[in-house]
């Protein structure tokens, strides 16, 4: 579904990604793990068109998409839940969800999709008129994910969904991630909590200072001595 080939991305003169290559197959959850500053968020920003690669190619369903503006990438079927959630705090919960469907032309299906979001995140149901900035951190994360789902993505990019959340809330968010995947959405997951990420993912890539240093089945990475020592705190 997604093929990233030798992508290099810069911030000014600083090279954040160094010819990284990886793939995501349809139906998978694939995770990128690594320390802060390794380039995980930069990778997602480059895929979603918010950053332009200096070299390399990104293909989505055999269509070259690097260089496309972000709204065109959303139309193709890639939605991005950014680090820090980035909801619209002064808009209502419902208005945030409607913004997720902004690029769609098939408005007749919006009510069905709203129902799907509220079925997936029942904590949000009945609170459509609540101002989004008054939601808890966990509820804002659910809203950000729901907003992304309103575009009917084929591929969902999730950046640090557990950030700043209580452990019990995090467990709930990851159960929902698995549910969304079972419903047919492919997921590329960036997550600081490597243990949780590798437990839900099928495959994983380790990113270190802008380079991919290891790739394996998630179950194998959980058993890898280097990964356990560096990223699992063992």
Q: Per residue in 192-234, pLDDT tens? A: 899 999 999 999 999 999 999 999 999 999 999 999 999 887 6
pLDDT of residue 201: 97
3-state SS, 70-112, equals HHHHHHHCEEEECCCCCCCCCCEHHHHHHHHCCCCCCHHHHHH
Structure tokens of 115? 């129902």
Structure tokens of 34? 């690594």
pLDDT tens digits, one per residue of 96-129: 999 999 888 777 788 889 999 999 999 999 999 9
pTM (two decimals): 0.92
Q: What are phi and psi of 129, to 5 degrees?
A: -90, 0
Packing angle, helices 137-149 and 167-182, rounded to 10: 10
**133 exposure class (CB count in 10 Å sphere: 0-12, 13-18, 19+):** exposed
Structure tokens of 173? 């968010």
Note whether 193 and 216 are within 8 A (CB). Answer: no
Beta bridge partner(s), residue 67: none
Pick the CATH number of 2-230 from 3.20.20.70, 3.40.640.10, 1.10.3720.10, 3.40.50.300: 3.40.50.300
Structure tokens of 106? 């098939």
Going by pLDDT thresholds of 50, 70 and 90, the confidence category of residue 5 is very high
What is the average pLDDT value for the chain, to the nearest integer? Answer: 93
pLDDT tens digits, one per residue of 39-92: 999 999 999 999 999 999 999 999 999 989 999 999 999 999 999 889 999 999
Structure tokens of 152? 């009917």
State how far the Cα of 151 lies from the Cα of 96, in Å rounded to an integer.
Answer: 12
Beta bridge partner(s), residue 78: 155
pLDDT of residue 146: 94
Helix (H, G, I), strand (E, B) or coil at 38: coil
Give the number of residues written for the chain.
234
State how far the Cα of 87 lies from the Cα of 151, in Å rounded to an integer.
Answer: 15
Handedness of CA 13, 2, 147, 84 (dihedral sign): negative
């Amino acid at each position: 579904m997604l093929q990233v080939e030798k992508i290099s991305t810069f911030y000014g003169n600083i090279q954040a990604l160094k010819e990284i290559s990886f793939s995501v197959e349809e139906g998978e959850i694939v995770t990128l793990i690594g320390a802060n500053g390794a380039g995980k968020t930069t990778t997602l920003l480059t895929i979603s068109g918010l950053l332009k690669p200096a070299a390399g190619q990104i293909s989505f369903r055999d269509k070259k998409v690097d260089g496309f503006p972000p709204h065109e990438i959303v139309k193709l079927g890639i939605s991005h839940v950014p680090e820090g959630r980035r909801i619209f705090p002064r808009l209502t919960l419902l208005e945030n969800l409607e913004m997720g469907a902004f690029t769609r032309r098939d408005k007749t299906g919006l009510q069905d999709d709203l129902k799907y979001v509220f079925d997936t995140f029942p904590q949000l149901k009945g609170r459509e008129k609540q101002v989004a900035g008054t939601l808890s951190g966990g509820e804002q994360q659910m809203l950000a994910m729901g907003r992304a789902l309103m575009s009917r993505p084929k591929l969902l990019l999730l950046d640090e969904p557990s950030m700043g959340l209580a452990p019990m809330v995090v467990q709930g968010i990851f159960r929902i991630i698995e549910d969304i995947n079972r419903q047919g959405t492919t997921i590329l997951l960036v997550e600081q909590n490597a243990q949780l990420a590798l437990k839900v993912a099928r495959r994983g890539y380790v990113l270190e200072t802008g380079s991919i240093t290891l790739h394996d089945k998630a179950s194998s990475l959980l058993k890898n001595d280097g990964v356990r020592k560096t990223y699992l705190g063992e």
